[in-house]
Amino acid sequence: MLLRKDSNGDASHSFSGPSGTTQSHNVAWIGLGTMGLGMASHLVKKGFNVTGYDIYEPSLAKFRENGGRTATSPLEAARNAEFLVCMVASSAQAQHVLFDKDTGAVQGLPINATVIMCSTVPASYLDEIQESLKSRDRNDIFLVDSPVSGGTARASEGTLTIMSSGSEAALEKGKTLQSALAERLIVVPGGIGSASKVKMVNQLLAGTHIAAAAEAMGLAATMGLNTQQVFDIITGAAGNSWMFENRVPHMLKNDWTRLSAVDIFVKDMGIVTSSARALEFPLPIASSAEQLFISASKQGYGRDDDSSVVRLYIPTSPAAVSENARPADKLSSSSKSWTANDIKKIGFVGLGAMGIGMAKTLTKAGYQVQGYDVYPPSVEKFVAASESATAATSPSEAASGAQALILMVQNAKQAHDVLFGSGKAAEALPHGSVVILNSTVPPSAAREIRERLVAVGKDLDLVDAPVSGGVARAASGQLTIMSSADELAISKANVVLSAMSGEPKNLHYIAGGAGAASSVKLINQLLAGVHIAAAAEAMAFGAKLGLDTRSLYNTIKNAAGGSWMFENRVPAMLDADWTPHSMLAIFVKDLGIVLDESKRLLYAAPLSSTAHTLYLQGASHGLSREADGGVVRVWEFLTGVSVAKSASARVEKKFVPREYQKLSVAETTNALPAPYEGNPLEMINSRISEPNTPILVVLDDDPTGTQTCHDISVLTVWSHDTLCQEFRATEKGFFILTNSRALPTSEARSLITTICQNVEKAAKETGKGFEIVLRGDSTLRGHFPDEPEVIEEVLGKTDGWILAPFFFQGGRYTIDDVHYVAEGDVLVPASQTPFAEDATFGYKSSNLRDYVFEKTGSKFKDEQILSITIEDIRLGGPEKVASKLINGPRGGVVIANAAAESDMYVFAAGVLSAAQQGRKYLYRTGAAFVSSRLGIRGISPLSAEDLKMDNSPNSAGGLIVAGSYVPKTTAQLASLRSRRGSKLHVIELDVSSMIQSKEQADAAISSATSTASSQITSGHDVLVMTSRKLITGHDANSSLSIGTLVAAALVKVVRNIEVRPRYVIAKGGITSSDAATKGLEIKRAMIVGQAAPGVPLWRCDEETSRHTGVPYVVFPGNVGGEDTLAELVERWAKPE
C-alpha cells in the first residue's frame, strides 16, 4: 500500500526440508480485508496450511474459494498454529482478537508459536502486547513487529515490502513466513516496535505528500492551468513525489474508486500525531495534513480514495482538476525558429549555483556566452571553464550585441534593476533580441517585465522560462524548463532553451503568454517547499523516536514516502552540511509568492502556509543564506534533537571480491528454467518502428563489437555532417568506432566528450532522439566507469547504467550475476581467466556486483544495484523485466543475466518497454545486447561465394594481420600455420627489436611490406604477425604505449601494401581498428554479416578508402576455437 518496491532481487519463496520437498506450516490468519485476503490466499498457493478469521462472512467465503480454511473465532483459528498473523485495522481490534477472555487467539496458540503483527499500529502498542503476553505467562511466544506495504495486487503476488523488528530469535522464526510474502524484507534494528516507528515516519511523509498534491493541483485548477500538463511537468521536476505521481492521475480522471481510503490516513496520521504528542514533539506539517483527512472524512469522503481530498480545496467546483485536464499545449509552425547559427552571442546575468552550470552548458553547446554576476569570483570561475566564456563588467555589457539575454537572478526586483534600472541591459540589447527570464518570480511580475520590454520599442520580447532540477541537472544540461511567451519570442528562444534542457521531454511550452510558465513554476515550488519541510520534520521525528536516521533515509527514499526533495536534501541533513546550493531564503520568497497568489484567488493553502512559517523560523535564527535543508534545525532549536547526531557513521567497506567455482556448461544451463516462449523480437521491431523510439548510437571501443550485426553502418569519423547524414539515413542505429580501449583514460574521456557533443548537436539538427550504448569487451576490459561518467557529464544523468556483457558466440555467460567465460565444456569465472590479468584493464571480480564496486569505489550502494535474473527473463518475459526496471532504484546499475541469445532479446524488449514509460538508460554491454536492441536476427557466416570473391588462377592472395596477444589468438595462429603449411607465407615482426629504436622498426616494416606485396601479387595468402612474447611496460600506460607502437607497425605494413588483396583479416581489437581507419582509410563501412560465428565482416564502398569493396574481417582476439581462424582462411582460399 505505502512502500514501493526497491529490490536487489527476489526473495526466495520456497522452503525446503532435508529431502528437498516443501514443508507445510500451520498459519492462523486474523483479518481478511483487501490486503489480508490477498496475503493469506498467496500463502495457500505456496503450500501453507492457512486458517482464516474475519468478522465479515463474504471475506471468509472468498477465502474458502481460494483454498483456505476458516474458523468461527480467533481462538479456533489459532489452535495448532505455528504462526499467527494479525492484519486488522487498529490496535483496539488487535487487542480484542489476541486477548479477549472468551475468543482471544493467544490462549489457543501452542508453545513457541510466533505472532506476526502486520497491522499499522502505534509502536508503543507492540510494547503493550509484550507486557500482555508476559502477564499471561506466555513468554514462550515470539513477537515480530512486521508492518507491510505494497497494495492489494502485490499482496496477492507475494511481492510486498515488509519491515521487521524484534528479538533475533523472533526475527529468525518469522523470516520463513515473511519471505513467502515479501519481495523486500527490511530488518530494522532496535528491537520490538522499531519497524512500526519506521512505518510511522513513512506514513507521515506519504500522508503529507498526498495532501500537498491535492493543495497543488487544486491551486493549478483554480489558476486555470492545464492540469494534465502541470502533472506531466512536475513528474520530471523537483516538486515530484511518489504520492504525487501515484495519486494525481485519480484527480485528473475524477475517479475516487478506493485503492487506499481517506479513513486509512485518518487512522495513520492519527497514530503519527498522537505518538508525537506523547513525546511532546511538534509536527506542524503532519498535523495540518491530518486535519485535511479528518475534514474529508467529515464531508463523507472517508471510504473514497485518499486522492479525493482534493475536493476540499475546490468545494464549488470539485471536478475542476479533471475538467482542466487536456493535452499539452503545442506551438504552431507559423514562426520560423532561430537556429544556433542565428545566435552569435548570449548574455547571461546571474552566475550563482544554478546559473553557472546553465551558462557552462551553453558554452558546451558551442555558444559564445558573456557572463555577469555581482560576485566577481563567480565570473572568474565561469570564464576559466571554457574558451567560449567571456566576462562582462555590467549587465549592459553582457547584453550588448547579444541576440539572447538570460536572467537567472534571485527575484523580480533584481530582474527589473538589471533590465531597466542600474543595469541598463534593455537599453544595450540590439534590435529584435529576446530576454529569457529563468528566475522564479510572481506571474504578475513576468507580465509586467514583458510589458516594459515591449515598450522600449526595439522589438524586444520576453520568454517567461522558470527552471527546475537543481545544481546537478543545471550543470548537465538536463533542466526541466517551462516556457511561455508570444510564439515569435518562443521561436527565437527555443534553441537556447533546448541546450539547457537536453531531451525534448524536459522542455515544456505553456500557452497563455508571459506569466503562464511562472504560474506552473509556482505549483512546483509549492510542492518542493512543502516536501523539504516535510522531509525535515520526518527526519527530526525519526531522531526523536531513537531511529538511526541514515538507515531511515535509505529505507524511505525508495518508498512511498519518498520525494525528489527528500532524496536530494536529506543527505546534507545527515552530514550537517549547510552549503547553500539552494538558500533557505529562496523558499521564504517562493512560498511567499504561492501564498500571495493563493490569497488573490481566495484559495486556502494550509500546508504551504505551515511550511512557510517553518522557513521564516529558520530565517529568524540567521539561516537565510544557508542551505534550505537547514530548516531541519528548527526542530533542533525547539527540541534538542539532531538528525546528524542520530545518523550512523558512513561505513566504508574494504572491498573483497567473492570467489566462485568452475562449472559444467551443460549441467549449469540445463538446470535453468526453459527459455521464454514468446516472441520478443517481434515486440522489439514493433517498438523500433515507432517514430518516438530513439536511434541507437553504439560507441564501440574496438571494432569487434559489430560481431552480431548485419546491414548496419559503422563510422570511423564523427564530423557534424557525417553524423547528420547518418541520423537522416538510419531508422535503427549505427556504430561509431572510437577505439578508446587503445587510449589512456584521460584521452578516452576527452574523445568520448567530443563524440557525444557532436552526436547531440547532429541529433538536434536532424530532429532525432538517441540513446548511447558503450559496446565494450565481453570479458570486462575497458574504461569503466570513466566512459559512462563522461557521457552523463555531457548528456545528463540517466535512470541508471545497464551492464550486459553476455555474448553467446564468445562463450560469455552471466548467471546469478556471475560472469563466466566458457572454455570447452567448462564455465570459468571471468576473474580466473587471462583476460582479468590484462596489464591495463585487469580486475579481480567475477560477480558483476563486485566488479561494479571494484571499479567505482563508493559511487554506488548495494541497494542501487538491480539484478534482472534469468528467472525474471524466462518466467516473466519482457513484462517482468520492464516492471523491475520501472520499480527499481534510479541512478544505479542494472545487471542483465543471460545464458542464451533469446534471454538478451527478452531483456532488450523489456528495456524498450521501460523506455516507453519514461526510463532512460546508459548501456555498457557486449555485442549481443546491441543486435538484440536493434532487432537483428543472426545469419549464417558468409562464404567466399556469397562475397563473390575472385577465384581465378591469377587473383591475388589474402592478407592476415595479427597483433593480439591473448592466449586464444596465439593458439589460433599456431593452428593456422600448422594447417596451411607452405600455402601460407608468414612474416613475423620481432617486437623486442622494434621497440629498441625507430631505425630497427622502420627496417622491419619495410622488409615486411616488400615481402607481403610480392607474395600477395603471386596469389599466396600472407600472415603478418607480431612475435608471440608479450612485452609489457612498468605500468598500465607504458604497456598501452608499447601496444600502440606495435599496432602502428602493423598499420604501416597494411598502408604500404599497394597490391589489392582478395580479403583482409585483422586479428585483435586494436589491430583491426587501426588497420581499418589508418591502414585502409575507412570512414564509413557496412557490416554485411559474419565471417565466422562472432567474427564481423565489413565492406567499404567509399571511394576515399583504399582497396574499395575488399571484404574486411574484424577478428576479435578472444573469439572462436583454436581452429576457427584456420578454417576461415581455408574456406576463403583459392581452389587448388
Please write the tens of the pLDDT for every residue from 933-973.
999 988 899 999 999 999 888 899 999 998 877 788 889 99
Give the 3-state secondary structure of residue 896: strand
CA-CA distance, 774 to 924, in Å (whole number)? 5
Residue 19: inside a domain? no
* Secondary structure (3-state) at 403: coil
Which of 315-324, 1029-1038, 1102-1111 has the lowest average pLDDT?
1029-1038
The closest alpha carbon to 123, from 187, 196, 191, belongs to 196
Q: Is residue 436 over pLDDT 70?
A: yes
Cα–Cα distance for residue pair 498/500, rounded to 1 Å = 5
Based on the fold, state whether residues 31 and 131 are members of the same structural domain: yes
Say yes or no: 534 and 455 in one domain. Answer: no
| Contact assessment for residue 675 and residue 905, using Cβ atoms and an 8 Å cutoff | no
The pLDDT of residue 6: 33
Give the chain's length.
1136
Residue 727 is assigned to a structural domain of this protein = no
Band of pLDDT at residue 194, cut at 50, 70 and 90? very high
The rounded distance, in Å, linking the Cα atoms of 186 and 208 is 23
In terms of pLDDT, which residue wins out, 275 or 560?
275
Question: Is 391 among the domain residues?
Answer: yes
Mean pLDDT, residues 71-90 taken together: 96
Please state the rounded mean pLDDT for residues 496-521. Answer: 92
Q: What is the pLDDT of residue 780?
A: 92
Same domain, 282 and 240: yes
The CA distances from residue 522 to 191, 482, 1104, in Å, are 44, 11, 57
Residue 499 CA neighbour count, 13 Å, CB half: 24
**Model pLDDT, residue 286:** 98
Distance CA(366)–CA(709), nearest Å, equals: 34
Residue 701 in domain: no
| Cβ-based neighbours of 865, under 8 Å, separated by 6 or more | 8, 849, 852, 892, 893, 894, 895
> Would you state the pLDDT for residue 10?
30
Residue 3, pLDDT above cutoff 50: no
- Residue 796 sits in a domain whose CATH number is 3.40.50
DSSP helix/strand/coil, 445: helix
Q: Give the CATH number of the domain where residue 56 resides.
A: 3.40.50.720
Q: What is each CA distance from 597 to 608, 819, 966, in whole angstroms?
A: 12, 58, 70
Same structural domain for residues 537 and 496? no
Q: Average pLDDT in the 128-157 region?
A: 92
Q: What is the mean pLDDT of residues 1058-1077?
A: 87
Q: How confident is the model at residue 332 (pLDDT cuts 50, 70, 90)?
A: low
CATH assignment at residue 1113: 3.40.980.20
Same domain, 40 and 172: yes
441 and 560, same domain (yes or no): no
Phi/psi region, residue 395 (left: phi>0; alpha: psi -120 to 50; beta: rest), is alpha
**Of the residues 480, 509, 538, which one is the last residue of a structural domain?**
509
Out of 33-37, 713-717, 845-849, 1035-1039, pick the least confident.
Answer: 1035-1039
For 738-749, write each residue's pLDDT tens digit: 988 878 888 889
Last residue of a domain, one of 192, 212, 234: 192
pLDDT in tens, 638-677: 999 999 999 988 765 567 899 999 999 999 999 999 999 9
Distance CA 1089, CA 1108 (A): 17
Written as one string, the DSSP assignment of 596-655 is HHHHHTT---HHHHHHHHHHHHHHHTT-TTSBGGGGGHHHHHHH---TTTTSPPP--PPP
Could you tell me if 369 and 363 are in contact, meaning their C-beta atoms sit under 8 angstroms apart? yes
**Is residue 948 in a domain?**
no
DSSP assignment string, 475-501: HHT--EEEEBS-HHHHHHHHHHHHHHH
What would you report as the CA-atom Rg of the chain, rounded to the nearest whole angstrom?
33
Tell how strand 800-804 and strand 922-925 pair up. Answer: parallel
Give the per-residue pLDDT at 334: 57
Find the mean pLDDT for residues 555-564: 89
Are 402 and 533 in a shared domain? Answer: no
Q: Select from 484, 506, 32, 595 the least CA-distant residue to 225.
A: 484
Q: Is residue 518 part of a domain?
A: no
Query: Would you say 585 and 195 are in contact if contact means Cβ atoms under 8 Å apart?
Result: no
Give the pLDDT confidence score for residue 485 in this predicted structure.
95
Q: Per-residue pLDDT averaged across 989-1017, rounded?
A: 89
**Domain identity same for 965 and 826:** no
Q: What is the mean pLDDT of residues 843-870?
A: 92
Distance CA 813, CA 806 (A): 5
Count of C-beta atoms within a 10 Å radius of residue 209: 29
Residues 225 and 346 both lie in one domain: no
Residues 815 and 684 in one domain: yes
Q: Decide the pairing of beta strands 114-117 and 83-86.
A: parallel
- pLDDT: which is higher, 723 or 993: 723
At 164, which helix (H) or strand (E)? strand 160-164
Average of pLDDT values for 798-807?
95
- Confidence tier at 14 by pLDDT (50, 70, 90): very low
Whether 74 and 126 share a structural domain: yes
Q: Is 557 one of the annotated active-site residues of the chain?
A: no
**Sheet architecture: strand order including 826-829:** 663-664, 826-829, 818-823, 812-815
Instruction: Please state the rounded mean pLDDT for residues 1070-1094.
Output: 88
Q: Is residue 613 part of a domain?
A: yes
Instruction: Provide the mean pLDDT of the chain.
Output: 91
pLDDT higher at 12 or 53: 53
| Three cell numbers written together for 1063 | 580479403
Q: 967 vs 848, which has greater pLDDT?
A: 848
CB proximity list for 1136: less than 8 A, separation 6 or greater: none
Question: Which three cell numbers mark 709?
Answer: 550485426
Alpha-carbon gap, residue 258 to 602, rounded angstroms: 30
Give the other-Cβ count within 10 Å of 997's Cβ: 10
Average pLDDT of the residues in 199-207: 96
Total domain count, the chain: 5
Q: Residue 905 in contact with residue 678, Cβ under 8 Å?
A: no
What pLDDT, on the 0 to 100 scale, is given for residue 1043?
Answer: 64
For residue 57, count CB atoms less than 10 angstroms from its CB and return exposed for 0-12, middle for 13-18, buried for 19 or more. exposed
| Measured torsion, CA atoms of residues 247, 248, 252, 253, in degrees rounded to the nearest 10 | -10
Proportion of the chain above pLDDT 70, given as a percent: 96
How many CB atoms are located within 10 Å of the residue 1032 CB? Answer: 14
Q: Are residues 187 and 204 in the same domain?
A: no
Residue 253's pLDDT is 97
- What one-letter code names the amino acid at 460? L
- Spatial separation of the C-alpha atoms in residues 596 and 609, rounded to whole Å: 10
State residue 2's pLDDT score. Answer: 35
CA gap 451, 429 in Å, rounded: 16
Among 154, 170, 192, identify where a domain stops: 192
CA distance 492 to 413: 25
* Cα–Cα distance for residue pair 4/525, rounded to 1 Å: 25
Q: Which is it for the CA torsion 969, 970, 971, 974, positive or negative?
A: positive
User: What are 447-489's pLDDT values in tens digits?
Assistant: 999 999 999 999 999 999 999 988 888 988 889 999 999 999 9
Extract the C-alpha cell encoding 889: 532504484
Query: Rounded to whole angstroms, how far apart are CA atoms 1026 and 995?
Result: 12
pTM as predicted: 0.62
The answer to whether position 700 is within a domain reads no
Q: 172-181, 189-198, 999-1008, 1031-1040: lowest mean pLDDT where?
A: 1031-1040
The closest of 410, 347, 352, 424 to 381, measured between CA atoms, is: 352
Q: Which domain holds residue 230?
A: 200-326+523-639
Q: pLDDT value at position 9? A: 31
Tens of pLDDT along 1092-1111? 988 999 999 988 888 999 99
Q: Which pLDDT does position 541 carry in this prediction?
A: 98
The grid cell for 875 is 518466467
The model's confidence at residue 23, banded by pLDDT at 50, 70 and 90, is: low
Q: How high is the pLDDT of residue 766?
A: 94
899-920: pLDDT as tens digits: 999 999 999 999 999 998 888 9
Average pLDDT of the segment spanning 682-687: 93
User: pLDDT tens, 619-632?
Assistant: 999 999 999 999 99
Catalytic residue from among 46, 173, 360, 521: 521
What's residue 471's pLDDT?
A: 87
**β partners of residue 187:** 164
